């Protein structure tokens, strides 16, 4: 779902984009776009110019102004969503499915570069990483490769973290 268009002035003051827009083109910025992470594709992410058209909370909307060179799923003029991860140099494309699943998982920063997002929805990564898992099986956590540098990242289920994991502190019956 594409967030409703808002006036560009509203996102210009967003703290996550402060200092990132191009001075000579104040509605444009560079965004990392991709066809998925390294588990899904061998095509590397690219940085393209995007015209920002709005935002809803921390999710921004924009239009791709340059055709990506080697990516198959993105086109010049396409409307995209993107987010601004804390340790990233540029904002990064976020698919609708990723945005839907993101709140259900805690994505630990990469131990190598500090990137704290994924390119793929966790459900798709689980299917790729654990193809022999029983349908509907849930994982408390899993490890994956950082989509930017290949370093290790851990992804933790927020729902399953709330369940008790051990009997520490409980007395054993004799």
Residue 161, pLDDT score: 58
pLDDT for residue 104 is more than 90: yes
Averaged pLDDT for residues 21-31: 86
Please state the domain extents for the chain.
8-161
Residue 8, pLDDT score: 45
Helices within 13-166 (DSSP H only): 96-102, 122-129, 158-161
At 124-152, the pLDDT tens digits run 999 898 888 776 667 788 999 999 999 99
Output the CA angle 98-1-82, nearest 5 degrees: 50
- pTM for the complete prediction? 0.82
Q: b or e along 120-159 (b: 16 or more beta carbons within 10 Å of the residue's beta carbon)? A: bbbebbbeebeeeeeeeeeeeebebbbbbeeeebebebee
At 37-90, the pLDDT tens digits run 999 999 999 999 999 999 999 999 999 999 999 999 999 999 999 999 987 889
CA distances from 7 to 1, 40, 46, 56, 164 (A): 18, 36, 27, 11, 46
The Cα–Cα gap between 131 and 91 comes to: 31
């Amino acid at each position: 779902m594409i967030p409703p268009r808002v006036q560009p002035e509203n996102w210009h003051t967003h703290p996550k984009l402060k200092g990132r827009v191009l001075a000579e083109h104040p509605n444009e910025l560079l965004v990392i776009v991709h066809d998925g992470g390294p588990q899904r594709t061998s095509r590397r992410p690219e940085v393209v110019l995007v015209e920002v058209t709005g935002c809803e909370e921390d999710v921004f909307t924009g239009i791709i102004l340059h055709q990506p060179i080697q990516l198959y799923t993105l086109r010049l003029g396409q409307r995209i969503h993107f987010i601004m991860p804390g340790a990233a140099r540029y904002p990064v494309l976020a698919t609708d499915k990723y945005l839907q699943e993101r709140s259900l998982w805690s994505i630990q920063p990469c131990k190598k570069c500090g990137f704290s997002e994924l390119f793929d929805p966790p459900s798709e990564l689980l299917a790729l990483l654990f193809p022999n898992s029983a349908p509907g099986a849930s994982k408390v956590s899993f490890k994956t490769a950082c989509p930017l540098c290949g370093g290790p990242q851990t992804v933790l289920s927020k729902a399953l973290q709330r369940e008790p994991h051990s009997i520490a502190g409980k007395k054993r019956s004799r």
